[in-house]
Homo-oligomer: A and B are copies of this chain.
């Protein structure tokens, strides 16, 4: 069975990508890159999703991107709530500098160690149209660089970067995952959960997710604080 590294945040997208990697016949090596998160709900979700996928291994690699400053996900800045769709088009304060490049770089190291030729990542160009590192041309450029970075690549086995969600809308992602039996109650997307790990329902990530389930006529099965109307 060929091996693949899966970048697994524990969110809806990466859980779906994990199911796709498995359906494609890969033995999955999960990698959760943590960057100064202020809460552990995401890590718990990553553990649950990895267990359900039946991964061969799961590594957590911390990286101190909080030391660079500049993001509500890593510094002491408030997560914005109740933004409108047009406000969400701006690059938000939750943006982490060079996040995808750092995560893919660490995944490349893990692929080298596990002798995997494939990396799966849940980047998506639809919901994050303002992010340069969510576009197909960026992914292809990373792949070209990675092919020159490692001994395996130079010897004719360049790593392939799979971004199977890149052109899908959020409802399409959820439909794909449901066909592959992803249990979305295990996933966590919220930027600002309460102490019990329940999603806030109001940050960008929650709003996008709630709207997607609603558009499918479904109720998001993840735990939310009680005040949230899920329909």
Contacts and interface: CB of A to CB of B under 8 A. Distances in A.
A130 B132 CA distance: 33
A150 B96 CA distance: 11
A100 interface: yes
Interface of A: 59-65, 67-70, 91, 96-102, 104-106, 108-110, 112-113, 130, 132-133, 135, 137-138, 141-142, 144-151, 153-154
A106 B110 contact: no
Contacts of A62: 62-64, 67
Contact of A101 (B132, B141, B145, B151): B145
Contact of A110 (B60, B68, B142): B68
Nearest to A134: B149
Nearest to A153: B132
State the oligomeric state as a number of copies: 2
A149 B112 contact: no
A83 B85 CA distance: 61
Nearest to A60: B67
A144 B146 contact: no
23 contacts: A61-B64, A61-B67, A62-B67, A65-B106, A65-B109, A68-B106, A69-B113, A97-B110, A97-B112, A97-B113, A98-B109, A98-B112, A98-B150, A100-B149, A102-B109, A132-B151, A133-B148, A133-B150, A141-B144, A141-B145, A141-B147, A141-B148, A145-B145
A131 to B, nearest CB: 8
